[in-house]
């Protein structure tokens, strides 16, 4: 959290999106993000949930009003071919590691099963890791990649961290609720054991928002500086062995 606290100080003079890795993957993007960052403080009040097909939208997470940013994208054909092969294969040991973007390729080459399109998929994961490290000034990123056959976090909840990036490569993607409809007192034990739709957590007529497979999301957690306790309320959608999810998440370390 030290990096996160340092980055969002309004008096900071240097660009917070300078890559900590010096990787060629995102040096150009790092420059774009750096320029984009300095426009944030001069903009009018922003929408709390920002979705765009431009990856620069992810940087808007630093706006005080914004709780979620989403880069809407379609996965490239080669990466998608590898994802579909993993689904057909039906098994993948959960990967959990802390690594720099430079060393992540080596880790993934060791841990992911071989396939003609494996390198393309790995390049995509490393690209996202480099973006995330770039955004938050990190040397290392907490990475988790799982093939899920049941919901990992089926109840609505908030993350007890500063920020998280997620991407559902296949299957149903993350669901979330806008803050204005949520009664946070009904989270966790406050639900009194009732299902989310029965506990009063959100109005019965509310339909949870849902991202698409391939979309890249950054969401604020409950420990984002100066916004403690206001993390995005979200959950994992249902999945089954017949309809699994391939899920990637990255955490600020």
The number of distinct structural domains making up the chain is 1
SS3 assignment, position 162: coil
Query: For position 253, what pLDDT does the model report?
Result: 73
Which range marks the domain in which residue 64 is found? 2-251
What is the dihedral sign for C-alpha 108, 112, 114, 116?
negative
Token pair, residue 78, equals 């080669």
Query: For position 40, what pLDDT does the model report?
Result: 43
Q: What percent of the chain is modeled with pLDDT above 70?
A: 81
pLDDT means per 10 residues, the chain with 253 residues, are 41 35 48 48 63 96 95 96 95 93 96 97 97 95 92 85 96 92 90 88 92 96 92 89 93 84
CATH of the domain at 133: 2.60.120
Cα separation, 120 vs 74, whole angstroms: 14
On whether the pTM is more than 0.85, the answer is: no
């Amino acid at each position: 959290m030290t990096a996160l606290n340092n980055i969002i100080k309004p008096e900071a003079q240097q660009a917070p999106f300078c890559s900590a890795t010096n990787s060629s993957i995102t040096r150009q993007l790092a420059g774009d993000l750096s320029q984009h960052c300095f426009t944030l403080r001069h903009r009018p009040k922003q929408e709390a949930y920002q979705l765009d097909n431009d990856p620069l939208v992810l940087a808007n997470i630093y706006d005080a009003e914004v709780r979620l940013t989403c880069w809407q994208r379609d996965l490239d054909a080669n990466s998608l071919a590898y994802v579909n092969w993993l689904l057909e294969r039906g098994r993948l040991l959960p990967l959990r590691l802390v690594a720099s973007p430079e060393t992540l390729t080596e880790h993934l080459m060791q841990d992911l099963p071989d396939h003609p399109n494996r390198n393309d998929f790995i390049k995509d994961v490393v690209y996202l890791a480099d973006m995330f490290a770039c955004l938050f000034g990190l040397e290392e990123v907490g990475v988790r990649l799982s093939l899920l056959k049941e919901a990992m976090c089926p109840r609505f909840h908030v993350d007890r961290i500063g920020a998280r990036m997620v991407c559902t490569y296949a299957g149903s993607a993350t669901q979330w609720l806008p803050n204005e409809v949520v009664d946070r007192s009904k989270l966790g034990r406050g639900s009194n054991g009732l299902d989310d739709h029965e506990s009063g957590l959100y109005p019965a007529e509310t339909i949870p928002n849902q991202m698409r497979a391939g979309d890249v999301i950054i969401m604020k957690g409950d420990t984002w500086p100066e916004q403690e306790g206001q993390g995005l309320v979200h959950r994992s959608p249902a999945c089954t062995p017949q309809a699994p999810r391939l899920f990637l998440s990255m955490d600020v370390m």
